[in-house]
């Protein structure tokens, strides 16, 4: 997010506070323990035990996930895109080091291979330790965990080799900044098959639409993605509590596949047919 952030409020050790002086808002969670603190070559990772939201993962002072509500984000980053494609057999996840997105992708039996490209291996190893429920698919034979720069990885992939790319990255600052640029989207367009699609988290529609979401869509269009649509979902521990992802494809998007959506072959906690339909409804103030 493009805000000033103070990270955790160390003057009050029983509370984790992420606040934005620019936006004039923030989120505070009462904690019972600071379980882990580590500075990696890429970022600072903190893990807390909270009183009501379970364990909390923060990177550089920003909330990444909590045990209580992460299922909303992970399901909505994956299933709308997976059901938009007719047969997504080869998938790449950019980022997603906590492995919750990987877990959701592998619920789809049509997937033959999914590669997760995370720059910081420590995010994954700490998730395996502190959030094992998100990492149950890590040893699935269809999964490959790669730890390097996603920009480099995408450039090295064969043309027309992927069906879906899921960009589950942090905000467009630091290591993730390049993942919101035309040059990266051009690389993604090259490796996606003709009916392939890309999905990327696109921040809060209430706070970041003009500063992040709209410029991001413009960069996608420059990279030949002709069909672009946002989808919306709640996310209580993210700024404003309202979040979005953006679907993009060079070919038309079939957003509603009734039979597949109505007959889910796996368990979800948030996502279902009605949620899928509602997620693509665009609020009036974003249609101007």
- Tell me the catalytic residues: 168
Instruction: Map 156-195 to HEC letters.
Output: CCCCCCEEEEEEECCCCCHHHHHHHCHHHHHHHHHHEEEE
Q: How far is CA 124 from CA 70, 144, 155, in A?
A: 15, 13, 23
User: 162-168 and 90-95: which strand pairing?
Assistant: parallel
Cα 185 from Cα 198, distance rounded (Å) = 9
């Amino acid at each position: 997010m493009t805000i000033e952030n103070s990270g955790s409020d160390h003057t009050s050790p029983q509370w984790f506070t992420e606040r934005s002086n620019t936006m004039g808002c923030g989120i505070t969670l009462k904690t019972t323990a600071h379980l882990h603190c580590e500075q990696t070559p890429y970022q600072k990772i903190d893990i807390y035990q909270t009183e009501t939201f379970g364990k909390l993962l923060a990177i550089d002072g920003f909330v990444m996930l909590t045990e209580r509500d992460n299922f909303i984000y992970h399901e909505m980053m994956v299933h709308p895109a997976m059901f938009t494609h007719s047969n997504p057999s080869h998938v790449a996840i950019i980022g997603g080091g906590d492995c919750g997105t990987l877990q959701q992708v592998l619920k789809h039996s049509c997937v033959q291979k999914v590669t997760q490209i995370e720059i910081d291996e420590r995010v994954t190893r700490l998730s395996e330790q502190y959030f094992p429920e998100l990492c149950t698919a890590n040893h699935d034979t269809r999964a490959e965990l790669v730890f390097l720069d996603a920009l480099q990885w995408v450039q090295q992939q064969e043309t027309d080799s992927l069906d879906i790319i899921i960009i589950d990255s942090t905000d467009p600052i630091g290591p993730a900044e390049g993942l919101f640029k035309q040059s990266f989207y051009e690389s993604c367009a090259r490796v996606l098959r003709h009916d392939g699609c890309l999905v990327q988290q696109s921040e809060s529609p209430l706070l970041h639409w003009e500063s992040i979401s709209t410029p991001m869509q413009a960069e996608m269009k420059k990279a030949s993605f002709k069909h672009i649509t946002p989808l919306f979902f709640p996310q209580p521990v993210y700024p404003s509590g309202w979040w979005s992802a953006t679907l993009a494809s060079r070919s038309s998007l079939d957003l509603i596949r009734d039979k597949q959506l109505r007959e889910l072959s796996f368990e979800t906690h948030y996502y279902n047919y009605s949620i899928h339909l509602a997620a693509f409804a665009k609020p009036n103030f974003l249609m101007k």
